[in-house]
Amino acid sequence: MGNAVLGVIGGSGLYDLPELVGAEWVTVDSPWGEPSDAVRIGEVDGLKVVFLPRHGRGHRYAPSDINYRANIDVMKRCGVTSLVSVSACGSLKEEMAPGSFVLVDQFIDRTFAREKSFFGKGCVAHVSMADPVSPRLVEHIAAAGAAEGLTLHRGGTYLAMEGPQFSSLAESKLYRSWDCDVIGMTNMPEAKLAREAEICYATVAMVTDYDSWHPHHGAVDIQEIIKVLHANSDNARRLVARLAKDLPRQHEACPVGSDTALEYALMTAPEMRDPALVAKLDAVAGRMLSR
């Protein structure tokens, strides 16, 4: 399957990975516009690691302002085969306490103001999102977390809201009634785009608060969130460093087809495809478009 390359998208509080050896910030151009920042490329025990701060260094971009397509396109251009999204979130379950991590396996997308696909008029494609997370990558993350003594919850549904405001009490209760586990603002359309780009994807959701539903915690307190963020970010860096150290150096085929998601997805006949759109898809869909 070729060499493995680990990508990491860092959320709130995670703007760098100082553990990378020989790292440098590299500007990578994308036909989809400006990504959140340059990428930091380095190694951990010989494994290439590509890091991108989702909100930009200094937290310049709100969730709805992030160019998710450019971010994923840049990761693909850097050769990333497995992508870990490290994301701050609120908990909708008592047992998922602030300071813990949740390895999400499902998403509900409630965002509405974002570009959600690389494809469209001129080149139509439909990928399956039944299994949005790569289980083999999750296994490696879980093993890394256990080795570092971190509190990890396996499985859970991530409710993606538009933001930037936090939930009302009524919304928080509604999402709990849907049996969602955590709530955040950034993993959609990121997970959808990673799937379209045939990159194995997994989310490490860092719980910062209990959202607004909890009777003993009340409204979301941004000062408390920041405190937990700092602690979570330190733990996240340890987790990523261990994952990079232990990840197999040869990319493993994804059992749910994350790395072959476009195999039967392209619908537009080759002679009917828009050349301008096809040119923009060179990294994301080049494997299939070159056939």
pLDDT tens column, 167-181: 999 999 999 999 999
Which token pair is 176? 């709990």
Q: Is the pLDDT of residue 218 over 60?
A: no
Q: Which of 73, 109, 181, 209 is catalytic?
A: 209
- Both structure tokens of 118: 């690389």
Cα 289 from Cα 252, distance rounded (Å): 23
Residue 11 banded pLDDT, cuts 50, 70, 90: confident
Average pLDDT of the residues in 218-224: 62
Instruction: Count other Cβ atoms within 10 Å, centred on residue 284.
Output: 27
List Cβ neighbours of 96 (8 Å cut-off, separation of 6 or more): 102, 153, 156, 181, 182, 207
The rounded distance, in Å, linking the Cα atoms of 13 and 22 is: 23
For residue 217, the Cα-to-chain-centroid distance in whole angstroms is 28
Q: What is the predicted pLDDT for the residue at 12?
A: 82
Mean local confidence (pLDDT), 128-146? 98
Express each pLDDT in 35-93 by its tens digit. 999 999 999 999 999 999 999 999 999 999 999 999 999 999 999 999 999 999 999 99
Q: What is the pLDDT of residue 226?
A: 73
How far is C-alpha 248 from the geometric centre of its chain's CA atoms?
A: 20
Rounded CA separation 159/180 (Å): 6
Q: Which domains does the chain have, with CATH numbers?
A: 5-289 (3.40.50.1580)
Q: Please report, for residues 56, 76, 162, the alpha-carbon distance to residue 289 in angstroms, rounded to integers and kept in the order given.
A: 31, 15, 33
Residue 221, pLDDT score: 62
Residue whose token pair is 């539903």: 213
**In which region does residue 51 sit, left (phi positive, over 0), alpha (psi from -120 to 50) or beta (all else)?**
beta
Catalytic annotation present for 37:
no
Task: Find the distance separating the first CA and the last CA of the chain, reported in whole Å.
Answer: 18
| Nearest CA-CA partner of 58 in 38, 75, 85 | 38
Catalytic residue, chosen from 211, 221, 234, 259, is: 211
DSSP three-state, residue 207: strand
Is residue 286's pLDDT more than 60? yes
The yes-or-no answer on residue 209 being catalytic is yes
User: How far is residue 63's CA from residue 68's CA, in Å, rounded to a whole number?
Assistant: 9
Annotated binding site for substrate: 185, 209-211
Q: According to the model, what pLDDT value does residue 217 have?
A: 59
| pLDDT single digits (tens) 225-266 | 777 777 788 899 999 999 999 999 999 999 999 999 999 999
